[in-house]
Structure 1
């Protein structure tokens, strides 16, 4: 049995404690070796709870020889900087979405990882859930006919005062926080040739961040994607794919609870089918994939390549969205 991949945690965010680290404890071939946070007491508390050794600083963790890879769970605008430092230190990197806020940063990071022979993976859990695999199988079967449109939305209720999503200096705002999910779905279904043909952002002058928005994208063959996102809404986590012969849709698709068994709704003509998918912890699924990629990149090369291409194009589309957006000040 191979030795476990020794993971270092950079940043003690809430998502790590609630979902990622509990999943790590259930994942073979992975163990938490070290934890670093701005607050050393918080790092020590995480280490007591999940294992590993608290590190004195982020740089101290990256210098440790008993850390093979890093799970980077810092505020958005720190992702690119610390991903670069982790790669330069010789560590494989799993980084929370979005990997980068600009296309130039994403390109640089993937070129750096490739040059150093390291794995760099952006943590979009939903792409590793059984739901997405089943949707991919259905699309490959041709049941929808030629794809014509994707509609997708990820919206959440208002966040409390002081939430990091409200801080522009840390990469707050709806586009970077939840807009990237429907954007990533559109890329997966319509390909990396998508371009932004229109966008709108509802911007808070008090907070200095966008609270919600919409994007229209067009694929080379004329298929379109209409995306909605925001953090001042009723909760919605959904996508729909429409083809010439049918329509497919899934609810609760981006932040699927571990115990939730999703249902894919498939409509062709007058026939309506509901296709159940087994419940799965997609945090555990992405950790398993990351460990497998580090252990044997050749075995997952095509999948890893696609994920990297999508991550680079996604970051470039964020640039295009900001450049084309009509901003409504509120």
Structure 2
């Protein structure tokens, strides 16, 4: 397949952030799009000399669409992905894969039965520094992996949100949206199955009614573990620890402290939805000439402890703290953000590479997310594999 004709489902923030990498890849042709909002549909058709489909079914019915990028709200991922693979399309689906483990398993099974590719992303497990750290660990040069320490403090809960983004049952809060990133990156680095999860999650603001923070201990097969913490309550900003580089790889002004809360304070619910839409793709957005990030994306502080060294992962380099010396491993600046995601998707479709973040990967990450929530509610260790086994047993003929 020389050219992959791609259909876009959902012209929101996720699509806008991934668009530069899509446009850059010579194998991708942006062929069609469907969005509930007519303005971005028309803008897409004009910008790319492409088709603006009136419905999702119309897009799937087109025989000239080889693959679909599902970038809609979380609650639609399962239904749309299953319909797409059954219509003969490969799928790139935004994280989280879906808002329930059983849905994720159904998506993976449908793709397998149809012989189609599912890639789950973008997530920060794709980030070039994370992939380099994973390669260093896998080399064995520093001995066995022992521990991963990662934490992130952001303003996630006070950015403009649709109502469903603050409803756990509909995929809202930080566990589905943000733990999926953090779990992906520690799994990518460790390269080992997760055996147990013990966690506590908190909702500390009645006005934003979903989990806004968590801490988790994940134990891997063989005894290594990872500690993961996240807060989206817009107080401390972890970007201070990575040279004031933002999550998306831009330089950040530390004097802008508190901006998210201040902007949100005067908004009505209608204003908040309008502000959310204003950050997405469409006429007047940054999509025609987006600023290029000088640094790699990141997800907060990340330290990997092996037998013979600690590896501190940053948006610009990996610092190796060995037994007797400290040295740095340079990471080349990004050509564009998220090219790793599109390269993996294209390579999986063409058969040129074995994907990491496939449907089974997405299932295992969601099992960890659900284990995190279940552990918080029961205050017990939860085995992600047991959640998968329970669903398989329930659905056994």
What TM-score does the superposition give when structure 2 sets the normalisation length?
Answer: 0.73
Which deviates the most, 161-170 or 21-30? 161-170
User: Which of 329, 344, 348 is the aligned partner of 1:275?
Assistant: 329
Q: Secondary structure at the match of 2:213?
A: strand
Number of aligned residue pairs: 313
CA–CA distance in 2 between the matches of 1:84 and 1:155?
35
Corresponding residue for 2:255? none
Cα distance, 1:91–1:106 mapped onto 2, change above 3 Å: same
Asked if the contact 2:75–2:171 (Cα under 8 Å) also holds between the matched residues in 1, the reply is yes
Q: Which residue of 1 aligns with 2:194?
A: 194
The aligned residue for residue 70 of structure 1 is: 68
Indicate how the Cα distance of structure 1 residues 165 and 156 shifts in structure 2: closer, same or farther if over 3 A, else same: farther
Determine which of 314, 319, 334 is the counterpart of 1:265: 319
Contact 1:183 1:314 survives alignment (8 Å): yes
Aligned 8 A contact 1:154 1:179 in 2 = no
Q: Check if 1:210 corresponds to 2:238.
A: no
For 2:378 and 2:154, the matched residues in 1 are separated by 20
For 1:244, the equivalent position in structure 2 comes to 307
Cα deviation 1:255-283 (Å, max 9, x = unaligned): xxxxxxx2101101241112111012342
**How large is the RMSD of aligned CA atoms in angstroms?**
2.3
Would the aligned equivalents of 2:194 and 2:218 in 1 still touch at CA under 8 Å?
Answer: yes
Look up the match of 1:9. 8
1:324 maps to 2:324: no
Contact 1:195 1:218 (8 Å CA) reproduced = yes
Structure 1 residue 327, shift from structure 2 partner: 9.3
Q: Structure 2: which 5+ residue stretches go unaligned?
A: 240-299, 380-397
Q: Does 1:223 align with 2:224?
A: yes
For structure 1, the 5+ residue unaligned runs are: 253-261
Secondary structure at 2:33 match in 1: strand
Mapped to 1, the partners of 2:170 and 2:55 lie a distance apart of 19
Q: Is the contact between residue 4 and residue 28 of structure 2 (CA under 8 Å) also seen in structure 1?
A: yes
- Cα distance in 2 for partners of 1:81, 1:55 equals 18
Deviates more, 1:220-229 or 1:3-12: 220-229
- For residue 256 of structure 1, what is the aligned residue in structure 2? none
Q: Check the 8 A contact 1:200/1:327 in 2, yes or no.
A: no
